[in-house]
Amino acid sequence: MKKTIKIIIILFLTSLALLLIPKSSNAATRSVTNEESLISEISSADYGDTISIENNITVSKPIVIAKELIIDGNGYTITGSSNWTSTSGNQTMFTAQFSAAKLTLKDIHLVKGPKYGVQAYDGATVILDNVSITDFNYGGVLVNGGNVEVKNLHLGYNGTGANNGIEIDKGAAATNNPSLLMNGVLKTDTNENVVRVAENGSLTEFTVTNSTSTTNKIVLAGNKVVLTDAQDNVISETSIPDKATANADTQKLVISLIYNNQTNKIVIDKGQMITEDILKSHITIGENYQIDGYFTDEQYTKTFNFDDPVNNDTTIYVKISEKALTIQEEKDETPKTGVQSYLEIAVVTLVFSVVGYVYMRRKSN
């Protein structure tokens, strides 16, 4: 019996050890230096392989990926050629398509193209880690029924006429709804349409979420998609079309602070009660100025009520005035000269002499 128990324990420990041994990876790293080798290595790569960019490359046609791959740019730049060839109507530089595709772009610069820099199409996932995208005619990133995770992204100006940073959309043939995850830092050269929800197309539902450690956040506030910084200041906001339903973990509101001919916008949770300290932390005034109150009208007649929760986008007018100057009597700090000191002694001596003389005369009389 004891022998049987020992055998069972040994088998159990052996099985546990096998489970804990990390699985070996067959993923390979494939180096590329030009467009031909880039396309060839992507085509022949196995799932999970890394394509290592070893030179600046110019590409002349779209690159479509339908598997799990990492493209490591090593700081190099992929530039779209002026002689671009369309593929079945697709003119995006990098497209991950369908649910089996998971494309990680890291340490890479994407520059110039007829439509978008990167696209996540119909269930595919794109992860952007230390990526910069600029000078694409339609936009920087297209979330087209796919999933995009932003870890570290820099957006230059993308679009024609108006900037179009990250566009959330769903093509007519797509079967999945798009989702956008903010999980790090998003920097942008312009604050116009940084995150935009498409008005045309088949988009009826999309999701935006934020990791607990993200610096920038993408939130929903009323009928707008809002990009904020780490302090909840609004960087960019764009309207959501009426036909699109947005999903988010929390519903936010926008508070507009107007003072000294400028407007600062912040986001708060719907139903949150705000305090003067929260508002003060988003107001910058000179040391010679002071806040006289918070009001709901620009004539400063209706005081804002801090005792009620806020359930709608709200504008707060902050009354600022210059502090009254306190006039202090100036002290004569001019150092006394020797002449002044002797003169004062002489005057005091004379006074005492006169008083003494008068006293002695009176006594003798």
Same domain, 31 and 75: yes
Please give the tally of structural domains in the chain. Answer: 2
pLDDT of residue 26: 74
Please report, for the domain that includes residue 309, its CATH number. Answer: 2.60.40.4270
pLDDT of residue 23: 44
Q: Which residues pair with 167 in a beta bridge?
A: 142, 196
- Structural domain includes residue 2: no
Task: Give the full edge-to-edge strand order of the sheet including 63-65.
Answer: 63-65, 94-97, 116-121, 139-144, 166-169, 195-197
Same domain, 116 and 143: yes
Same domain, 240 and 212: yes
- Name the phi and psi angles at 332, rounded to 5: -80, 105
Q: List b or e across 319-347, with b for residues whose CB sees 16 or more CB atoms inside 10 angstroms.
A: eeeeeeeeeeeeeeeeeeeeeeeeeeeee
- Structural domain includes residue 36: yes
- Structural domain includes residue 341: no
Same domain, 235 and 289: no
Would the CA dihedral through 195, 200, 201, 205 be positive or negative? positive
Same domain, 227 and 276: no
**Last residue of a domain, which of 213, 233, 248?**
248
Angle of CA points 161, 163, 165, to nearest 5°: 150
Same domain, 202 and 262: no
pLDDT digits (tens, 9 = 90+) for 37-59: 999 999 999 999 999 999 999 99
Judged by DSSP in three states, 66 sits in: coil
Below-50 pLDDT ranges, the chain: 17-19, 21-24, 339
Predicted structure pTM score: 0.80
Same domain, 151 and 48: yes
CB 48 within 8 A of CB 25: yes
How many of the other CB atoms lie within 10 Å of CB of 291? 15
The closest alpha carbon to 92, from 125, 59, 49, belongs to 59
pLDDT of residue 1: 54
**Last residue of a domain, which of 215, 230, 248?**
248
- Structural domain includes residue 361: no
CA distance 46 to 97: 16
Which residues constitute the domain of residue 61? 27-248
pLDDT of residue 164: 97
Same domain, 47 and 191: yes
Same domain, 60 and 141: yes
Strands (E), 172-302: 179-188, 195-197, 205-210, 217-221, 224-228, 234-239, 245-247, 251-259, 262-269, 289-295
Q: Which residues contact 135 (CB under 8 A, 6 or more apart)?
A: 111, 112, 113, 156, 157, 158
Same domain, 33 and 98: yes
- Structural domain includes residue 10: no
Q: List b or e across 132-155, with b for residues whose CB sees 16 or more CB atoms inside 10 angstroms.
A: bbbbbbbbbbbbbbbbbbbbbbbb
pLDDT of residue 325: 72
pLDDT of residue 18: 46
Which amino acid does the sequence have at 324?
Answer: A
Which amino acid does the sequence have at 162?
Answer: A
- Structural domain includes residue 64: yes
Same domain, 209 and 315: no
Angle of CA points 81, 83, 89, to nearest 5°: 95
